[in-house]
Amino acid sequence: MGAESFRNPKILDWAMNEWINGRGGPLSSGVNGTAFLSSPIIAPHVGQPSNFISNIGLDRDDAHSPFLRKLLASDNEADLQFCFAPIGWNPNEGGEALSRLFTHSSPGNYLAFTAVLAHPFSRGAVHIVSPDPQSAPAIDPKYLNHPVDFELMVQGVLFMQKIYETKPLADYCQDLDDGSGKKIQDTYNIPGRIDRKAAEKLVREGTIPSWHPVGTCAMLPRQNGGVVDPRLKVYGVDNLRVVDASIMPTLIRGNITSAVYAIAEKAADLIKADYKL
């Protein structure tokens, strides 16, 4: 059952009763599936050699790139996370409000697929603009600024289309009238099968953040733009540590909360060790 069915009051009442009386029914589940896949595994399914992406943007390399490129070249390290759910959504309608992403106006029931970068190469910037601590900083996330990130997302879109066209999922998705592929939600304004040009347009116009910000106080050597040392101390400032997700120099796969707990536990050990000294 697609979530769009809940627009029907009778179906919504039934689903609410299922949940209230037995914690069952369609309201008992959220995202129905997720998978982490590497670029070398995805690329052949979208008509590319498995290693073609590894040399993209070499002129843009920075302190993080050797580590990230090692991950990128491995079959065993995920570059994209895919999430699947029985609901349509459209970032073109939702804007910056997450709650509006799922209130699209397209009639019918849809299956949604999303591709998420596991280890972005792009690097944004955060700078103070005033000595007033109440003033907001200038933030430029520079999403998809690195060509590797853009190419991975394009691969992700083309791979998702391949999944929709492959049995058994293909049996549950409507065909286009001309039989060239599967029907895409109307609000995306993509009338036919997604080709390379359409995938690039979709990535440029439809990419939104995953709300996992890291790296603004990265643990790196100072000469490489680092802010804290391996003991979480801020370079050039006495008795100041940073203990949060901002010290991660690269994004971890998946949600960051557990890693922040681990950082806090380690910080507690470091502080206690320094106190004893």
Residue 264's identity, in one-letter code, is: A
Question: How many alpha carbons lie under 13 Å from residue 60 in its C-beta half-sphere?
Answer: 15
CA dihedral 254, 256, 261, 264 (to 10 degrees): 140
212 is catalytic: yes
Q: Please classify residue 215 by burial: count the beta carbons closer than 10 Å to its beta carbon, then call 0-12 exposed, 13-18 middle and 19+ buried.
A: buried
- Give the whole-angstrom CA distance, residue 41 versus residue 74: 9
Nearest to 251 by CA among 149, 163, 107, 168: 149
CA dihedral 164, 170, 176, 177 (to 10 degrees): 170
In terms of DSSP H, where are the helices of the chain? 9-22, 39-42, 65-72, 91-94, 147-164, 196-206, 257-276
Backbone torsions φ then ψ of 91, nearest 5 degrees: -65, -20
Q: Please classify residue 177 by burial: count the beta carbons closer than 10 Å to its beta carbon, then call 0-12 exposed, 13-18 middle and 19+ buried.
A: exposed
Catalytic residue annotation? 212
